[in-house]
Amino acid sequence: MTTNHSKTAVVTGSNRGIGNEVARQLCRQGFAVFIASRDMHDGREAAEELCNQGHEAIFLHMDVSDPLSIKNAVGTFSQKADHLDVLVNNAGILENAEVPITKMNVEALERAMTTNVYGPIIVIQDFLPYLEKSPEGGRIINVSSGAGSLHRMRTYAPAYSISKTAMNAVTRQFAACLHDRRIAVNSVDPGWVQTDMGGAHAPRPVESGAETIVWLATGAPLTETGKFWKDKREAEW
């Protein structure tokens, strides 16, 4: 192992927004954080910024919509660390939010599913051998959305909403499968956050959006698994 810290985390889509804030907060708690990003320039810049603040951040080139890119990222990770404590599936896309399902292009749904659902499944599968080696038990946090809650779902962003509902199902499946392997798997609704996706008029600062994710990664009991969370409280699916 070549990282300088005993605790390791991989955060996808962490070159900006919620993912970047999660990476920053995990660094502050003593993690070596792998900044996984498909944009090489922005990813390297985000990692460099955290390093300049005295943290250990390593850029990891990864496009979650490309299985080969994920496998290559795991190979790079394996050269730097021998285990993984926290995996945050944060990378995601949101397109054509105002187009109703009656006019939704099915290709848009396929793009959303590829990035928001299929990608996280492959990321978990490929990093699983390293999560199983976590000394204190691994933690997987899937960044979902209130738009994916069947209890609250309306007409907003059908492709995105459907993909986030599917991500919640992925969380339940992995949580059940990994329960006996000391790996907790949870979904988080970060709320409407001031990011490129959420927009400048969103009511929540990025710090609030990251809070529950970081709590699940560091402070929540490992027995809390297979649940949907918002503001450190269990939310309705």
Give me the active site residues, please.
160
Q: How far apart are CA 186 and CA 219, in angstroms?
A: 13
The CA–CA distances, whole Å, from 208 to 28, 75, 232 equal 16, 33, 11
Eight-class DSSP state of 117? I
* Token couple for 219: 């402070």
Alpha-carbon torsion (74, 78, 79, 81), positive or negative: positive
Position of tokens 């390791």? Answer: 8
Contact between 216 and 29 under an 8 Å Cβ cutoff? The reply is: no
User: Which residue type sits at 120?
Assistant: P
